[in-house]
A and B are shown apart, each in its own frame.
Chain A
Amino acid sequence: MLTLHVEVPYGSFRKSYARSLAETYPLPPPATVYGMLLSLVGEGFRRRHVGVRLALAFSGTYGNGSQRHSPFPRVAQTLRKLSRYKYGEAPKQSEQGNRPDYIETLCDIAFLCWVDSAQETNPEPRLEMRLREALETPEKITRYGVLSLGLSDDAVNDICLVQKPTGDWHRLKPSQEGSLELPVWVDHVGSRHTRWQRYELEREPVTPTEPPLEAYWTVIRPPA
């Protein structure tokens, strides 16, 4: 198991049913975090590390150290040009080009991500080992592009290994009665195979000194 600290100044995680007005999930979904980890190690096959387990905890303080009013990152709504082909009336893209639309963006995202490869189903090397290698000896990794969390606009500011987390963190706990639904596997074509899991973000922050308990892990697994 390893622990990563990730900082992303802003990011948009479009909800699966949001075509007009790019509504965002209130937190980076586990599926997106998994995608970022694959990009970090230069892996192009989504199923290469299925079975890996992730646990997330979100920062209780802003970048300047002041306490957050809410454990959720602030949401900003802005106007951007978006492809009609992808999100609007596809035939109009060639004649009329992109059109503006509102997009929601999460601001000042910082989280801890625990990665446990013990249950990965494919042969080694495991994601955990590859992540360690990518962060400790990046020259050995073959990858391209700036590392981003989801959209390529949403670049990662900092990602590093953490030995012992400090500060206040709100843990994301899978819960059948939870008020958040976050995708754990995304169908990028028609949403039919998108799989969600419900979560609760703990209101009381903690300083995690121990590895996450069993209840806090999310297994990354494609639909059967």
Chain B
Amino acid sequence: MGQRTTGYQLPNPLVYELGNPNFTVYHRAALGGLAATIEAWKKNPRLKPEGIAAEVDAGKVEIRWDKKLSDRQFIRRLLEASFRLTPDKLIDLPGHGIETDRDGLRLAIHTGLCGTFLQHNKMRPGEKTPRTLKVQVEGEEQEYLLTYKAVNSYAHQKAQGTRLLGGDDQAPLPPVALIPQSVVPGAMTGASELEGPPEEVLLLLYLMVGSAVFLLRSYRHESRAQYCLVIPDVKNLKSFARNLRQIAARGANFLTNGYPGRIAGGTEEAALRFLLALEAGNLTEEFGRSVSGCLAVAMGKAPWDRKQNYRTLVVRLGAEYPELEVFRAALQHFGKGRLLTSARGEAFPASPNPLPELIAANLAAERHWCADFIQRCQEKKDFEQLTFQKGGLAAMTKAIKDEDDQAIIAIFHEAWRMTMGALSERAQREGSDFTALVERERERTRNAILRAKTAEALAGWFLRFCADATKGAALAGMKRNAARVREFIFNPRNFERFQNLLLFALVSYMGREDNLSEGGIDA
């Protein structure tokens, strides 16, 4: 790495190693983005910059260029091949591997990037009047009309604000380059700008490619976050590049695809969605897991300044959580982002189902997966909505690994099934409406669980509920797990968990109620 008195010269070949101790998570994600871009050139050789050759392996990227090219000419060609625009003036990052017929996903990413990396108008000069684009959501017949701001160019195309490119391509590079907000969101100038060696700043330009952007629509009214950047901690460049391409190529069954796939409830949900999508790409992969976790950054309006999007929350997530399967089940059943259409015919993202957001936030904070479920049951309206989502809730129940949780839910379901049986008999005997009886009983049970204020009171109610259901006999599940259940329900530390689990069990019961309502008894 030679340093001249007149300036700085990039080493040729330029080698970036994932194991460089001076690389932060931002560098590693950016290196993943650079690797994905280089791999995209191999898939589509007409994109490859002239005079530049690059190789990617699991831990290293090596770039060589024609010695006739000056450093600035090399950087210009590299960036031209990496940061492009579509004819519709949407941002096109070859590293993402989004095909031309997948404008929905491209538009969601364009919107996200314009609100985060490129939020300042000067970073993406474009047309004043918004354009519209018709987006077809896979699995739906209706087309949605979405508006966006078309851009003529953007900061990354010319390394704006970094000092890497200037008027004269023959001039040497400065020994120090700058890191503006468009390169690392949140890197505000301050009294002195953030600086780095030119090759590191060049690498950081690819952070935009290596990270995933989501549009946030949280059910929590206090949340002002609008976007989420998921910055993966890349540990295998080759497999990361392949996974990134696979995500873009997948159909509607994969939940990060299409415009709705980039709508998430919360920061943690967005991050876990992306990690699961990467992991799905690994099922046929010989390289193993490509990331070890990620940093999720929420960006939105801060109460003290409405003009720009600030970083409002930063969450670190690992790739492994004990109850990740519960989240996966919730995501599969409730995770599909929704688009609504306004009276003027324009579509906009709507808040998705809150359950994936709740569970993801719990897992990320290392809380019990069901913590705060009570919040979704306190309002009768919310609770009734949950009772219509039994299929997904039942799938979540099946995914639970914790034995205490399994035992409590199974016992409650067993007791509830017997209660249903008794109600059915009563309905037949009295000629009353079975459904109305069940709803009344469910509401009574919800209130009883919500009103319990201590572990002892809740345990007492639970035992009474089980005894009433069996007319005094012991439930099979209770017999099998007597010691475990006793220890769990009488421990005051488990009170909130127990309460949340009972409410979850109440809404997730999948019996043969339809048959029962027609006179059958499921007992």
Q: Which residues of A are interface residues toward B (Cβ below 8 A)?
A: 15-21, 23, 26, 69-70, 77, 85-90, 99-102, 104, 176-177, 179, 181, 189-192, 195-198
Contacts and interface: CB of A to CB of B under 8 A. Distances in A.
A17 B305 contact: no
A177 B188 contact: no
B186 A189 contact: no
Interface string B417-452: 000000000000000000000000000000000000
A177 B366 contact: no
Interchain residue pairs A-B with the least CB separation, the first 4: A190-B195, A21-B311, A19-B188, A192-B195
Nearest to B24: A181
Interface string B296-318: 00000011110000111110101
Q: Which bracket fits the contact residues of B? A: 35 or more
Nearest to B367: A69
B187 interface: yes
Given A69-B366, A88-B188, A190 B22 contact: no
Contacts of A21: 186, 310-314
Contacts of A177: 19, 235
A218 to B, nearest CB: 11
Nearest to B305: A99
Contact of B313 (A77, A179, A189, A191): A77
Question: Chain B at the A interface: mostly helix, strand, loop or mixed?
Answer: loop
A20 B22 CA distance: 22
Contacts of B316: 26
Contact of B366 (A19, A70, A90): A70
A8 to B, nearest CB: 21
A197 B24 CA distance: 9
Interface string B1-40: 0000000000000000001011111100000000000000
Given A17-B186, A87-B190, A192-B195, A181 B310 contact: no
A85 B21 contact: no
A85 B195 CA distance: 17
Nearest to A104: B314
A101 B195 CA distance: 22
B192 A196 contact: no
A197 to B, nearest CB: 5
Contacts of A102: 311-313
A196 B191 contact: no
B197 to A, nearest CB: 7
A215 to B, nearest CB: 15
Given A26-B316, A192-B176, A19 B310 contact: no
A94 B5 CA distance: 37
A86 B233 CA distance: 28
A86 B190 contact: yes
B194 interface: yes
Contacts of A176: 19, 21
* Residue from A20, A70, A181 having most chain B Cβ neighbours under 10 A: A20
B230 interface: no
B187 A17 contact: yes
Given A21-B310, A190-B176, A100 B190 contact: no
A114 B159 CA distance: 45
Contact of A90 (B21, B191, B196, B302): B191
Contact of A196 (B21, B179, B313): B21
A131 to B, nearest CB: 27
A190 B191 contact: no
B23 A192 contact: no
B253 interface: no
Interface in B163-199: 176, 179, 184, 186-197
B24 A17 contact: yes
Nearest to B188: A19
Given A89-B188, A90-B189, A99-B305, A192 B310 contact: no
A134 B186 CA distance: 40
B292 interface: yes
A69 B366 CA distance: 8
Contact of B292 (A100, A179, A197): A179
Nearest to A174: B21
17 contacts: A17-B179, A19-B186, A21-B186, A21-B313, A23-B311, A85-B191, A86-B190, A87-B188, A88-B189, A88-B190, A89-B188, A90-B190, A104-B314, A176-B21, A192-B176, A195-B22, A196-B23
